[in-house]
Structure 1
Amino acid sequence: MGHSERRFALRDRTRANHEKLDTAIGAFENLAAYRRYVTFLGRFRFAMDRVLNDVVWPRDWSWRPTAVSDSIAQDAKDLGLRVTPTETSDVLFDDQSGLLGAIYVLEGSTLGARVLRSRAAALGMTDGFGARHLAVMTRDMSCWQSFLRQLDDVEDFDIECAAQAANAVFDLALRCVETGGLPSPDFKASAY
């Protein structure tokens, strides 16, 4: 498989789960829907950031994924939400192909964040209140390009391993949506 094909091969192999997640999240037309979204995203990203903190990064990788847990914690606090991470025991990265597959999902979410940022703004959420995480995700789109270069440059890339990891991350996100709902208002910023 040629390097330039990797992104699209991952997209094709994860399309069904990506579409399920987009449908499950839906559009947030009101503040209650936005609060559910922040709760879901907090559960998901706190868990994923915890997993990524334990990764032993390949020595030749100078790039790291965009971290958003701290800004989500601040947004959740603004909205009076308590967010706790979900379990991630089935999301493990044994090699760099799997790690790249997982990061494909996380960094790819920055592309959709631009649309979500405008929807959040229509609800009164700003870069300083309630939508900090969207500002962080959309601040520097060169991170996506850096990820794509990393994806293209890795030797011994296994598309099936990468797709399996990416689909596991989408599955985790779907579980976080399904266990959603609005939690109690006594949010603790140190939830992860």
Structure 2
Amino acid sequence: MPRHRPGHRFAVAATAAALVPLLFVSGCGEEGSGVADAGPSETDQPTDAGIETEDPADAAVGDWDAERKDRPAQGADVPRLTEVAVTEHEDHDRVTFAFDGSAPQVIASYVDEPPSGDVEPPELAGAHNLMVVLVGVDQESGLAPTDLTDTVREVRDFGIFEGELRVVLGLDTPGGGAPGFRVTGAEDEVVVDIAHEQAG
């Protein structure tokens, strides 16, 4: 028959009593939360992923396809076109329209024929006609002859009609199809990038 050990029983009870306050303290955080306050975690800290974002004014309209592009005006004034420049890059050519004042609304789309009114449609160099309409520009706007490339074969001013300056780009590609393009810009310029290859 086993003998009782009062001393052993007292030691176990005392140890358990000593542990109760420790468990209570470690299990409590903020009052009423019931969750320990471990301090801010990594997910709470501000992070800097180093990702650069485009300024809204510089964001591209369209994604190198042959569809119509429409970029809104960048201000409320009446801008005057002061310069048009064509520059060649590795996989695309760039046509830059610079303005005195903020950039106007621009609509760019392929057309079967350049504007002609009541006369025979004029012939432009290049197999494809990309018309760039600059909406709400000053009546004094116009463009001077500019350098050309193998892709941008002609840049022709068709004048202002009801406040819209119409410029047609005559374009070619090695494959023969219409090249993809996109429209970007800044506060005082409109940029039309034209791919060296036809749109997929």
Same fold at TM > 0.5:
no
Larger radius of gyration: 2
Q: Hey, which of these two has a bigger chunk of helix by percent? A: 1
